[in-house]
């Protein structure tokens, strides 16, 4: 497999199209050229500007007044028509984020640990006796969605339907328009989640949905109100989308990283307490979310180039995380790197709400994987990459495994 960040930069005119098949396969060579040759790049065909150096990406993330999310966070920006947290500005954003944050307290995330482990164990137990399996389809996609269902209190009997609808809704590739089936699946998922809220309204309990219903939102005029059932449905749909595909990409990306760095895999197998720092390097080395879209509210001049007001600007997380100005020898996966700050979860106002949950899921996924399979190989032709909005990663990854004697016994 050659989806490596190490391929040499090509010469020729600099063109960056995130949906170009070669770029989806391996964007890192073009990222290098963007950082070095055009740190303020404009793509006139698709109508966006791109910032690729770490410092510029960080500053833009933190300058919310100049770089707003309200016009959407992808190049197409279609999500700006949905009432999502990610496209809101204060005071609306602050109010809604405060309510959703009640689901992500350290105590609540800590309580999920045993469920995450039990789910990972069950999924891996089903693969017992197999020489090969698809890490994405048979493990990484299942785990985060069940965890979100558990977090928001989806009853067990509805979880298979949540999987079915989410799989259809997330099947999109590149910039193809949404199909009727995909739209129906998203609407079906939202309806299912809204129905949960309706049911809980009739029978309140000691659960997350009831907590959301009872946590006030401060309106723009300073008044207090409570989320209605439709709004709760949207908040849950947002969590299902934000927290599912991203973790489902990080795990297989890291399976590739460790297959290419067997000495670090062996160290993690021997000492799983090193996994938390390795997870940070996994996020840096091949991040699921490759860019965050913004919109300029005023003219901005950077490196002698002026981006006018009213333009789509993408902050290239993927390029920033491989900027040698910040991360020496960036193409090397090195779990001993001291990563004080990276932008894989964004920064500032919209920084990922699920970061601690994502870290927990990834750590446990690898604790369980490494315990069963100290070694694995990538199967030739078993990997397929996709770009869906701003998320890039593997849709399939077949690996050949050698179970540890303990796992067989
Ligand atoms: C490895 C996994 C993940 C990655 C790489 C990731 C990445 C990100 C990034 C980069 C942002 C900022 C977007 C922007 O500024 O435009 C973000 C926001 C967000 N993430 Fe995550 N995420 C992950 C997992 C999760 C999980 C597990 C959840 C919840 C279950 C979640 C929920 C959210 C939400 C709700 C926001 C919007 C926050 C806001 O706008 O205030 N994410 N994520």
Percent of the residues in the chain that have a pLDDT greater than 90, as a whole number: 69
Taking only Cα atoms into account, the Rg of the chain, rounded to an integer number of angstroms, comes to: 21
**Amino acid 311: pLDDT:** 98
Q: Does 97 sit in the ligand 1 pocket, CB within 6 Å? A: yes
* Angstrom distance (rounded) from CA 100 to CA 237: 12
**Amino acid 391: pLDDT:** 92
Which protein residue's CA is at the shortest distance from atom 30 of ligand 1? Answer: 243
Inform me whether the pLDDT recorded for 3 exceeds 50. Answer: no
* Angstrom distance (rounded) from CA 238 to CA 234: 6
Atom of ligand 1 nearest to the CA of 358: 27
* Angstrom distance (rounded) from CA 279 to CA 339: 11
- Mutation probe of ligand 1 site: the residue of 352, 353, 389 with most atoms within 8 A of C-beta: 352
DSSP 83-151: --GGG--TTHHHHHHHHHHGGG-HHHHHHHHHHHHHHHHHHHHTTTT-SEEEHIIIIITHHHHHHHHHH
Atom of ligand 1 nearest to the CA of 343: 10
Inform me whether the pLDDT recorded for 2 exceeds 80. Answer: no
To which residue do tokens 């404009």 refer? 42
**Amino acid 141: pLDDT:** 93
Inform me whether the pLDDT recorded for 30 exceeds 90. Answer: yes
- Mutation probe of ligand 1 site: the residue of 354, 357, 389 with most atoms within 8 A of C-beta: 354
**Amino acid 192: pLDDT:** 93
**Amino acid 409: pLDDT:** 47
Contact 295, 70 (CB under 8 A): yes
Q: Does 354 sit in the ligand 1 pocket, CB within 6 Å? A: yes
Q: Does 243 sit in the ligand 1 pocket, CB within 6 Å? A: yes
**Amino acid 269: pLDDT:** 97
- Dump pLDDT digits (tens) for 332-375: 999 999 888 889 999 999 999 999 999 999 999 999 999 999 99
- Dump pLDDT digits (tens) for 388-398: 889 999 999 99
* Angstrom distance (rounded) from CA 213 to CA 99: 9
Atom of ligand 1 nearest to the CA of 86: 40
Give the list of residues 6+ apart from residue 222 with CB closer than 8 angstroms, or none. none
**Amino acid 327: pLDDT:** 95
Q: In what order do the strands lie in the sheet with 391-402?
A: 132-134, 391-402, 375-388
Give the start-to-end residue ranges of the domains of the chain: 21-408
* Angstrom distance (rounded) from CA 15 to CA 21: 13
Q: Does 229 sit in the ligand 1 pocket, CB within 6 Å? A: no
With CA atoms as reference, report the closest residue to 291 among 322, 268, 319, 326. 319
Distances (CA, A) of 123 to 51, 135, 210, 235, 364: 40, 10, 30, 27, 13
Which protein residue's CA is at the shortest distance from atom 38 of ligand 1? Answer: 350
Q: Identify the H or E element spanning 271.
A: none
Q: Does 145 sit in the ligand 1 pocket, CB within 6 Å? A: no
Distances (CA, A) of 125 to 114, 172, 379: 16, 30, 21
With CA atoms as reference, report the closest residue to 194 among 234, 145, 147. 234
Inform me whether the pLDDT recorded for 125 exceeds 90. Answer: yes
To which residue do tokens 């150096």 refer? 53
- The rounded mean pLDDT for the chain is 91
Inform me whether the pLDDT recorded for 402 exceeds 90. Answer: no
**Amino acid 4: pLDDT:** 44
Chain Cα centroid distance, residue 148: 14
Inform me whether the pLDDT recorded for 40 exceeds 50. Answer: yes
- Dump pLDDT digits (tens) for 172-220: 666 677 788 888 998 999 999 999 999 988 988 878 888 888 888 877 7
**Amino acid 32: pLDDT:** 98
Percent of the residues in the chain that have a pLDDT greater than 70, as a whole number: 95
**Amino acid 10: pLDDT:** 54
DSSP 188-240: HHHHHHHHHHHHHHHS--SSHHHHHHHS-EE-TTS-EE---HHHHHHHHHHHH
Atom of ligand 1 nearest to the CA of 88: 40
Q: Does 73 sit in the ligand 1 pocket, CB within 6 Å? A: yes
Atom of ligand 1 nearest to the CA of 362: 1
Strand 312-315 to 48-51 pairing: parallel
DSSP 282-310: HHHHS-SB--EEEEESS-EEETTEEEPSS
Contact 234, 143 (CB under 8 A): no
- Superfamily per CATH, domain 21-408: Cytochrome P450 (1.10.630.10)
* Three-class secondary structure of residue 36 per DSSP: helix
* Angstrom distance (rounded) from CA 187 to CA 184: 5
* Angstrom distance (rounded) from CA 26 to CA 3: 5
């Amino acid at each position: 497999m050659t989806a490596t960040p190490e391929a040499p930069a090509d010469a020729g005119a600099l063109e960056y199209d995130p949906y170009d098949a070669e770029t989806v396969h391996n964007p890192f060579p073009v990222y290098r050229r963007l950082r070095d040759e055009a740190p303020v790049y404009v793509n006139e065909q698709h109508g966006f500007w791109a910032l690729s150096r770490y410092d510029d990406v960080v500053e833009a993330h933190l300058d919310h007044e100049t770089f707003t999310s309200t016009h959407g966070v992808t190049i197409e920006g279609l999500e700006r028509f949905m009432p999502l947290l990610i496209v809101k500005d204060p005071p609306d954003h602050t109010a809604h984020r405060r309510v959703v944050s009640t689901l992500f307290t350290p105590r609540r995330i800590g309580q999920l640990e045993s469920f995450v482990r039990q789910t990972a164990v069950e999924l891996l137990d089903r693969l017992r006796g197999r020489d090969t399996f698809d890490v994405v389809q048979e493990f990484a996609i299942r785990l985060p969605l069940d965890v979100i269902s558990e977090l928001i209190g989806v009853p067990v009997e509805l979880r298979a339907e949540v999987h079915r609808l989410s799989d259809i809704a997330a099947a999109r590739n590149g910039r193809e328009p949404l199909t009727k089936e995909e739209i129906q699946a998203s609407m079906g998922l939202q309806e299912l989640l809204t129905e949960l809220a309706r049911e809980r309204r009739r029978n309140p309990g000691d659960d997350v949905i009831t907590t959301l219903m009872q946590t006030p939102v401060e309106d723009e005029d300073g008044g207090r109100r409570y989320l209605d059932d439709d709004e709760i449905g949207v908040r849950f749909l947002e969590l299902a989308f934000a927290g599912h595909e991203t973790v489902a990409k990080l795990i297989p990306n890291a399976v590739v990283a460790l297959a290419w760095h067997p000495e670090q895999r062996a160290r993690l197998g021997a000492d799983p307490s090193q996994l938390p720092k390795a997870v940070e390097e996994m996020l840096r080395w091949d991040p699921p979310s490759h860019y965050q879209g913004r919109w300029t509210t005023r003219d901005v001049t950077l490196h002698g180039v002026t981006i006018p007001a009213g333009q789509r600007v993408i902050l290239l997380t993927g390029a920033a995380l491989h900027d040698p100005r910040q991360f020496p020898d960036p193409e090397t996966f090195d779990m001993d790197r001291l990563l004080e700050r990276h932008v894989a979860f964004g920064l500032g106002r919209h920084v990922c709400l699920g970061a601690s949950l994502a870290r927990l899921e990834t750590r446990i996924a690898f604790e369980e994987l490494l315990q069963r399979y100290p070694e694995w190989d990538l199967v030739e032709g078993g990997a397929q990459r996709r770009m869906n909005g701003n998320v890039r990663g593997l849709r399939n990854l077949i690996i050949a495994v050698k179970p540890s004697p303990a796992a067989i016994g």
